[in-house]
Amino acid sequence: MAQRKTAGRQGHGLAGASALRALRLLVCALAVLALSAVPARAAEILAVLSARLPPYEQALAEFRTQLSRLPAAGPKAIEPHTYTELVLTEAGPQGLARALRDRRPALVLALGRSALLAAAELPQRPPTPLLHLLAPGVPPEVRARPDVTGVDLDVAPAATLAVLRTILPNLRRVGLVYDPQRTGALVDQARAAAREAGLELTALPVGESREVPSRLGELAGRVDLLWLLPDLTVATPDGTASFVQISQRHRVPVLAFSRPYAERGATLTIAAEPGGMAAQAARLARRLLAGESPRRAVPEAPVLLSVTANRAVAAKLGLELVRPASLHFEWLE
């Protein structure tokens, strides 16, 4: 009988413990549901475009699409976000300052180098994360700021040469013209990368643009490919025309760094893939909007590269290009 009572107490005690555990689980579930059901505020994003150009507008649209596809994170990550677009060439630095003051955005997305530099120069209280996209040649002092992060537009010479070796396996000699004041560091990286890739790189310096044709004339016959770098002294319209002229005259292909140069006669271009850069920027934005410090979200190099080849020029030069399977490859008709 006593055993039965003990057993009965023990039974009551076990039942109470089970009920207590069930109650705890219920409370936890309710708490999770309550937290997840808290309505988050939409984030205010200020998109600053360097100019009203299709590449910036397409990148912004892709960024918005990619960001909307990412899962929400943090109290300010609920879609839809509120976007404010501002074109720097139209609004000017004053307009940008007014927008920052009035809109108080959670994130500033700078599309282009001019937009990035203009946004970086403005004092922001409190500091607003600054995310750059399609901005070439980000100055080191800007890159070093704790509130700045983004995706680089420049493709590292090593990556460019690696892709180039894939497309033109028989390539041995590469020549370029550069302004040491502007792209000296980049040429150093290129030299190192060429060495690692087993290529012979001939780089001739110029002091001003009018020297480019003559220097290119010096490279004629000495190289298998002319490499047009993103150099303001070299990649002028006349400089580019000189590259194309030398290319046609000496049947040497020209490698450029942006798709429009293929339209102007360059044989092929190797550049960052815009959609991939927008997706990378969207992921960085999600982290920043989730409250992560920009210091931890370091700038990223472009992951996806794309190759554009001018079919007519390649045919005239008799080039046989190997299409890499892992890259986005486009023939320009």
Going from the C-alpha of 186 to that of each of 5, 190, 261, 294, the distances in angstroms are 87, 6, 19, 26
Question: In this structure, what token pair is assigned to residue 134?
Answer: 């399609």
If the CB atoms of residues 63 and 297 are measured against other proteins, the closer one turns out to be: 63
Give dist(CA 156, CA 169) in Å, integer.
19
Binding residue for other proteins, selected from 105, 129, 175, 213, defined by CB under 8 A: 213
If the CB atoms of residues 44 and 242 are measured against other proteins, the closer one turns out to be: 242
Q: How far is the CB of 40 from other proteins (least distance, A)?
A: 35
| Number of chain positions touching other proteins (CB under 8 A) | 33
Binding residue for other proteins, selected from 6, 65, 181, 214, defined by CB under 8 A: 214
Only one of the segments 33-41, 91-99, 108-116, 122-130 lies at the binding site for other proteins (rule: CB under 8 A); that segment is 108-116
Give dist(CA 115, CA 130) in Å, integer.
11
CA nearest to 49, candidates 100, 97, 108, 106: 108
Per-residue mark of binding to other proteins, 166-205 (x: CB under 8 A):
----------------------------------------
- Phi first, then psi: give them for residue 280, nearest 5 degrees: -60, -45
**Residue 210 within binding range of other proteins, rule CB under 8 A:** yes
Q: How far is the CB of 262 from other proteins (least distance, A)?
A: 12
**Residue 82 within binding range of other proteins, rule CB under 8 A:** no
**Residue 114 within binding range of other proteins, rule CB under 8 A:** yes
Site for other proteins in 40-79 (CB under 8 A): 50-51, 53, 55-56
Give dist(CA 135, CA 150) in Å, integer.
9
Question: In this structure, what token pair is assigned to residue 325?
Answer: 């399977």
Q: How far is the CB of 102 from other proteins (least distance, A)?
A: 26
DSSP bridge partners of 82 = 44
If the CB atoms of residues 54 and 169 are measured against other proteins, the closer one turns out to be: 54
Binding residue for other proteins, selected from 245, 290, 300, 328, defined by CB under 8 A: 245
Strand, coil or helix: what is 21?
helix
Q: At what angle do helices 157-167 and 180-197 cross, to 10 degrees?
A: 50
Per-residue mark of binding to other proteins, 251-270 (x: CB under 8 A):
------xx-x----------
Only one of the segments 18-26, 131-139, 160-168, 218-226 lies at the binding site for other proteins (rule: CB under 8 A); that segment is 131-139
Q: How many CA atoms lie within 13 A of 20 on its CB side?
A: 6
**Residue 220 within binding range of other proteins, rule CB under 8 A:** no
Q: 142 Cβ partners below 8 Å, 6+ apart?
A: 116, 117, 120, 148
On the 0-12 / 13-18 / 19+ scale of CB atoms within 10 A, 267 is buried
Give dist(CA 121, CA 72) in Å, integer.
31
If the CB atoms of residues 43 and 258 are measured against other proteins, the closer one turns out to be: 258
Binding residue for other proteins, selected from 153, 171, 252, 266, defined by CB under 8 A: 153
Q: Tell me which residues touch other proteins (CB under 8 A).
A: 50-51, 53, 55-56, 112-114, 134-137, 153, 209-214, 230-232, 235-238, 241-242, 245, 257-258, 260, 271
